[in-house]
Each structure stands twice: as C-alpha cells, then as structure tokens.
Amino acid sequence: MNKNNICSLLFLCLLFPLGINANNASPKWTMEFYAGAFEPEDENWSTYYGSSKMPQVGFSIAYRIFNVLDIGTNISYGRDQGKGDLPLNNLIAGDVVHEMLPVELYLLFRARFTEGQWLVPYVGGGYTRFAYRQEVKGQDTVKGSVDGNHFRAGLQFLLDPLDEKSAQEIYRGFGVINSYLYLEYKQTEAEADKIKIGGTSYNMGLMLEF
C-alpha cells in the first residue's frame, strides 16, 4: 500500500463513523477532566525547583454554539516545591512552594462532521487570568494575578464503540451522549513584573458530551 492509499484510508476513518453514538441526540454541553504536566517558560525553573515541569489538574465546561464550535471556561491548578532563588522576586530562598491557578475563557473548533466520528482533531484559544502564589519558609509570600492568553490543540478519540452496551447505560443513567479520551497541547502566555510565568501544558483527559 503506497503513501497516497494510506492517507486516503486515514481520511475516510476520520470522516465516517466507527460506531453509533448512544442515541440520535445532538450534544449541547461538554465537560472535561484532565491531568498533565506544565512546563514553565522560565528556562531556569529546574534550578529553582529541581524539575522543568510541574503536575497540574483541571476542569472545563463548554456550550456548543454550532456543531463544530464551543464556547467555554476552564480552571486548572498546578503546584511545585523546591529550594533556591525565587524568579518572581530575586530572593535567596529556603523551602519554596509555587502554586498557579489559571482561569480561561475560550472558543474551540472541533473538526467533527458526522455522528459517531471516532477521531476528532480540535484547535482553540482565548483569554487567561493567571493567578500565582509563591510561599517561602521564613519569608514573605508573593502572590498576584495577571492577564494573558492561550492556544490549545488536541486530538480526541471516541470511546463509545469500545463498549456500546456500557455507553447506552451511561446515557440512560447520566445523560452522557458521547465519551472521548483526548491528548492536548496548550501554550499559555503571561507576565508578572516583566517576568514570564506562562508555559506549555501537556495533558490527557476525559471529555463528556451531554
């Protein structure tokens, strides 16, 4: 099979459904739960905290304006702990705890063209209010929030065809029309006192459509 045939096969898999969704209802709401790693833009982060990434978790809810366009809000939380200099106030620190709480408003385009489409790529972005807090043992706590923006892109995989009986039961019990596993890349830009505190997120999550 040559390269052109492989590309054509992938395209057909993308457009045509692998299975049937829980019913013929059209989803109007989505909920997402995810976890992953946030890599701060500061190149010296590993010097302060011992690693270039920190764990984060998050939740989002969105309303489907059109079949392919969502508008929503997202909140996530990340925490890191270490020793060393503080990038936000240039102090020598002892035990350092850094926390972040970005809140986002976004528009998201999903390339979802048929019911039961098993592979759905998406892109989106919007406004970010980036809250942060640094606590140093024996010193003052630095905290605040700044405006920023973000871009996200990902790929979601329909789970319903893997167990259609369970998908039907989840629909009858909770109203979940479709369930997806997704992988996502997100870039956040934000600055506090001319210091970049944004970064890159790598997430895996569960998206439910109602």
Q: In angstroms, rounded to a whole number, what is the distance separating the alpha carbons of residues 119 and 161?
A: 12
Three-state DSSP state, 67: coil
Q: In angstroms, rounded to a whole number, what is the distance separating the alpha carbons of residues 199 and 10?
A: 32
CATH classification of 3-209 is 2.40.160.20, yes or no? yes
- Given a contact cutoff of 8 angstroms between Cβ atoms, the answer to whether 156 and 180 are in contact is yes
Is the per-residue pLDDT at 147 higher than 60?
yes
Residue where the block lists tokens 């970064």: 199
Q: Within 10 Å of residue 49's Cβ, how many Cβ atoms? A: 21
Residue type (1 letter), 55: P
Q: Which two tokens stand for residue 46?
A: 């590993």
What is the pLDDT, as a whole number, of residue 82? 80
pLDDT band at 84 (very low <50, low <70, confident <90, very high): low
- Given a contact cutoff of 8 angstroms between Cβ atoms, the answer to whether 203 and 184 are in contact is yes
Q: Which residues pair with 51 in a beta bridge?
A: none
Q: In Å, how far are 85, 105, 131, 150, 179 from 190, measured between CA atoms?
A: 20, 15, 10, 9, 32
pLDDT tens digits for range 43-67: 878 877 888 999 999 999 999 998 8
pLDDT tens digits for range 157-209: 999 999 888 888 888 889 899 999 999 999 999 999 888 999 999 999 999 99
pLDDT tens digits for range 97-126: 899 999 999 999 999 888 889 999 999 999
Is the per-residue pLDDT at 134 higher than 90?
no
Q: Which residues pair with 191 in a beta bridge?
A: 196
**Residues ≥6 apart with Cβ < 8 Å to 111:** 14, 68, 120, 121, 122
- Given a contact cutoff of 8 angstroms between Cβ atoms, the answer to whether 108 and 70 are in contact is yes
- Given a contact cutoff of 8 angstroms between Cβ atoms, the answer to whether 188 and 201 are in contact is yes
What is the pLDDT, as a whole number, of residue 92? 53
What is the pLDDT averaged over residues 140-156? 94
